């Protein structure tokens, strides 16, 4: 009898943001087995140095690999910008022949040309993502005619991680960064939410941007890219279990994670505490 595949797809983020990616991935690819790992205890990553983001992300990737993840998605732009390449080049070969890690920046920059007519695109991201200039460099490769204007929003992730995304106080900081972006370039017709936490503020962001501006959340984009990757990498696809399960791990308090994640995913979540 064939051995049923037992591998998992790992989804890693500094905290709750990766849930926006997980949600879209599971909607498109419900049959696979997933493990979500949120490093809530050390979130936010967005203002941390290159070395620290790399160390924390590598710890997360190693932990997910040790739990059976054949493929891990860094569902975090900051980690994708600051750690992905080093992990792919220096660390994966020491972990095992099947260890694979993908990020969220490449899938977004590959398709951004479809979302803009004016060719003026805006971006909201963490300080780390904006300073890394990863989006500028990647977009220039695929769509050299696009002009990108970026605004770092250091207060958005702390608002979300502390359960304040829906509060009236959050409006002040959402409007502040929206105004900043519009003052940089009034010609933009598309804005990338280049932090996986930001879809949790999307209703408020919508309020403070002109209606004609499209808001691009990465969930569906990353889900489609993963589907495509699995079609092209049969061996990995075959190694992943297909029981439709999802386990959740957090480095912070479990009850708080369960409450926030259950509200967002609209299903009961029972996470397990983990140390990295
Ligand atoms: N959600 C992450 C991102 O996409 C990280 C945010 C943070 O921890 O600052 O950048």
Q: Is 23 annotated as a binding residue?
A: no
Q: Whose CA is nearest to atom 9 of ligand 1?
A: 46
Element (H, E) at 257: helix 254-265
102 CA → ligand 1 middle, Å: 16
pLDDT at 175 over 60: yes
Say whether 93 sits in a helix, a strand or coil. helix
pLDDT at 31 over 60: yes
* C-alpha dihedral (80, 114, 215, 187), degrees to nearest 10: 110
Write the burial class of residue 119 (CB in 10 Å: 0-12 exposed, 13-18 middle, 19+ buried). middle
| Of 247, 251, 258, 257, the residue nearest 274 (C-alpha) | 251
Ligand 1 close to Cβ of residue 195 (< 6 A): yes
User: Hey, what are 251's tokens?
Assistant: 């480095």
Distance (Å, whole) CA 172 – CA 94: 47
| Of 103, 101, 129, the residue nearest 45 (C-alpha) | 129
* CB-facing half-sphere around the CA of 141: CA atoms within 13 A: 12
Query: What tens digit of pLDDT does each residue of 180-235 get?
Result: 999 999 999 999 999 999 999 999 999 999 999 999 999 999 999 999 999 999 99
Pocket test for ligand 1, best of 16, 76, 194, 260 (most atoms within 8 A of CB): 76
> For residue 95, how many other CB atoms are within 10 A of its CB?
16
Q: Are 112 and 216 in contact (CB under 8 A)?
A: yes
Ligand 1 close to Cβ of residue 103 (< 6 A): no
pLDDT at 2 over 60: no
Average confidence score pLDDT of the chain: 95
Distance (Å, whole) CA 205 – CA 218: 15
251 CA → ligand 1 middle, Å: 15
Is 246 among the residues known to form the active site? no
Residues above pLDDT 70, as percent of the chain: 99
Model pLDDT, residue 3: 58
User: Hey, what are 254's tokens?
Assistant: 């479990």
Q: Is 45 annotated as a binding residue?
A: yes
Q: What is the number of the ligand 1 atom nearest to the C-alpha of 18?
A: 1
What are the phi and psi torsion angles at 36 (to 5°)?
Answer: -105, 130
Ligand 1 close to Cβ of residue 14 (< 6 A): yes
Say whether 245 sits in a helix, a strand or coil. coil
Question: For residue 36, what are the β-bridge partners?
Answer: 11, 248
Exactly one of 69, 76, 153, 246 is catalytic; name it.
76
42 CA → ligand 1 middle, Å: 11
User: Hey, what are 239's tokens?
Assistant: 């190694």
Please tell me the total number of residues recorded for the chain in this structure: 276
The model carries a pTM of: 0.94
Q: Is 196 annotated as a binding residue?
A: yes
Exactly one of 69, 153, 195, 246 is catalytic; name it.
195
């Amino acid at each position: 009898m064939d051995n049923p595949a037992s591998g998992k797809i790992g989804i890693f983020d500094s905290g709750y943001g990766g849930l926006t990616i997980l949600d879209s991935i599971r909607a498109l690819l419900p049959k696979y087995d997933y493990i979500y790992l949120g490093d809530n205890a050390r979130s936010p990553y967005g203002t941390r140095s290159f070395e620290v983001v790399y160390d924390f992300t590598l710890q997360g990737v190693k932990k997910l690999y040790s739990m059976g993840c054949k493929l891990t998605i860094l569902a975090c732009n900051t980690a994708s910008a600051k750690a992905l390449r080093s992990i792919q080049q220096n660390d994966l070969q020491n972990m095992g022949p099947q260890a694979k890690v993908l990020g969220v920046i490449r899938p977004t920059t590959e398709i951004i040309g479809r979302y803009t007519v004016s060719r003026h695109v805006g971006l909201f991201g963490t300080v780390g993502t904006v300073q890394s200039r990863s989006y500028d460099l990647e977009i220039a490769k695929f769509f050299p005619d696009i002009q990108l204007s970026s605004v770092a929003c250091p207060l958005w992730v702390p608002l979300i991680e502390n359960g304040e995304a829906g509060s009236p106080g959050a409006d002040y900081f959402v409007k502040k960064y929206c105004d900043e972006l519009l003052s940089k370039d009034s010609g933009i017709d598309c804005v990338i939410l280049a932090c996986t936490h930001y879809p949790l503020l999307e209703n408020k962001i919508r309020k403070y941007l002109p209606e004609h501006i499209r808001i691009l959340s990465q969930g569906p984009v990353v889900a489609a890219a993963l589907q495509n990757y699995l079609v092209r990498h049969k061996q990995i696809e075959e190694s992943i279990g297909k029981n439709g399960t999802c386990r959740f791990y957090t480095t912070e308090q479990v009850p708080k994670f369960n409450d926030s994640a259950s509200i967002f995913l609209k299903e009961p979540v029972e996470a397990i505490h983990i140390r990295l």
